Amino acid sequence: MDVPNFTLPEHALRLALNDEVHARPPVRLAGDQQIVYLAVRHDPSDRAAHRQALARLAQAAGAPVAPTVDHAVVKLSEGLRFKWEGHAEFASYTFFAEGAGDQPPAAVLARAGWPEAAASLPGEVLVAVSINLVSFPGDTPPVDAFRTEADTVVGGAVAEGRGWGYADFRVREDGFTRFLLLNREMGLGQAGRMVQRLLEIETYRMMALLAFPVARTAAPDLGAMETELAAIVERIAGASPEDEARLLDDLTRLAARVEHLQSATRFRFEAAEAYDALVARRLAELREVRIPGLSTIGEFLHRRLAPAMATCRSTSRRIGNLAARLTRASALLRTRVDIEREQRNQKILESMNRRGRLQLRLQQTVEGLSVVVITYYGVSLVGVIAKSIKAAGVAWDPELVMGIAVPIVAAVVFGGVHRVRKALEGEEKGTS
């Protein structure tokens, strides 16, 4: 019976999110294989150029791919496959050549047409690895299975004893790091997963270590800024108000330097944390078992990688702590300036209060003098009127009239001045 098509409304990202679980699957590997791997670090803007390199290789093999893919596996010729993966900071190119790995890695790349495809490719090779996957049915690997001139060889039984992996983590004269993977009883998918884990461990290890030179380069400037901040804090403790502007200027310049350092290193340190976590996860997925007399790959990388990552974390924390200390020092200086300003404002208010009290006393004095002067002129006017009435024939003493008028006029003038002052105070309260 026919199954009807799915007709329910779907989220626009449903298929893309679901397919993430299937992203970048390992290549199934059977028999002996030589795997040549390159990780090319590039700027985010150069990702399109790497997709074009993928398209050229695929087109030459007659198997075109979509221009927006993040990974693809292409059969280039009989016994030669190619896998491309695009990442945020790098693109990886993996070539799988069937047969024993007795040929130089450059020969595998030449068979794939890599030199022509990579002629105009932006970026730099950060990781170059050659892995020999060899079938080995025995129960115990030979002592000289991995031949190298290096003093240190590491390895262990992987996939819980279904195979053995070896490496020396040395870049040889041809520019490649060598791994040997003996396949005892790993299936097609498991062998592909082990190869992919080894490649990812080496790639993510190198990507994590990109932060180490950044930490070492930042250390001298960071130490100088820490010393400068300590000196500024000491100056704040004993500074006078005249020094505050200079201190604020010094803090501002130091804050700009710290912000520049933090913005220049933050991404690299955060990316290193993510890559280091991926290395640890991939090492756990190897499920290594110790081979007597050898350090496991996980032990070796932990001893070498952990100190570098600790240095990066320490530098990142120092930068963060310096920024926090700078913020506290700025707050301390602002508090000092605010307290100084409040003290100055308090003194200004006290001075204004004293002037206000003096003005009030002066006003009261002026009001008293005004009452006296107005009373004098008022009584004089009464005297003129009394003398005029006496000249008209009324028998009274103008001087006596003026004497009687003095308290009356003074009371009237005082009451009038008092009412005017009250009215003005009322208007002032109404507008405040």
Q: In what order do the strands lie in the sheet with 154-158?
A: 71-77, 80-86, 90-98, 33-41, 124-135, 177-183, 163-171, 154-158, 289-290
What pLDDT does 151 receive? Answer: 78
Query: Mean pLDDT over residues 198-226, rounded?
Result: 95
What pLDDT does 68 receive? Answer: 75
What pLDDT does 425 receive? Answer: 66
pLDDT digits (tens, 9 = 90+) for 274-311: 999 999 999 999 999 888 888 899 999 999 899 999 99
Percentage of residues of the chain with pLDDT beyond 70 = 91
Query: Mean pLDDT over residues 350-370, rounded?
Result: 72
The radius of gyration of the chain's CA atoms, rounded to the nearest angstrom, is 46
Query: Mean pLDDT over residues 322-335, rounded?
Result: 86
User: What's the whole-number average pLDDT of the chain?
Assistant: 84
The residue to which tokens 């990316």 are assigned: 271
What pLDDT does 39 receive? Answer: 94
Query: Mean pLDDT over residues 174-202, rounded?
Result: 92
Candidates 34, 51, 76; CA nearest to 178 is 34
Geometric angle at alpha carbon 196, from 115 and 134, rounded to 5°: 85
pLDDT digits (tens, 9 = 90+) for 375-417: 777 767 777 777 777 777 766 677 776 777 778 777 777 777 7
pLDDT at 341 over 80: no
Give 33's contacts (C-beta < 8 A, 6+ positions apart).
Answer: 96, 97, 98, 99, 101, 131, 132, 133, 195
Domain ranges of the chain: 24-188, 211-346, 358-424
What pLDDT does 14 receive? Answer: 78
What pLDDT does 351 receive? Answer: 80
- The CA–CA distances, whole Å, from 139 to 161, 162, 169, 175, 262 equal 9, 9, 26, 33, 53
Dist CA 217 CA 242 (whole Å): 37
What pLDDT does 217 receive? Answer: 94
CB neighbourhood size of 139 (10 A): 7
What pLDDT does 244 receive? Answer: 76
What pLDDT does 99 receive? Answer: 83
pLDDT at 420 over 60: yes
Rounded to the nearest angstrom, the gap between the alpha carbon of residue 253 and the centroid of all alpha carbons in its chain is 20
Report yes or no: 385 and 432 within 8 Å, Cβ to Cβ. no
What pLDDT does 3 receive? Answer: 65
Higher pLDDT, 346 or 85: 85
Dist CA 296 CA 304 (whole Å): 13
pLDDT digits (tens, 9 = 90+) for 215-253: 999 999 999 999 999 988 888 877 777 777 788 888 889
CB neighbourhood size of 34 (10 A): 23
What pLDDT does 384 receive? Answer: 73
Query: Mean pLDDT over residues 362-373, rounded?
Result: 68
Percentage of residues of the chain with pLDDT beyond 90 = 36
Query: Mean pLDDT over residues 260-283, rounded?
Result: 94
The residue to which tokens 């004993």 are assigned: 238
Q: How confident is the model at residue 181 (pLDDT cuts 50, 70, 90)?
A: very high
Q: Which of 48-52, 149-153, 425-429 has the highest mean pLDDT?
A: 48-52
Report yes or no: 285 and 195 within 8 Å, Cβ to Cβ. no
pLDDT at 432 over 60: no
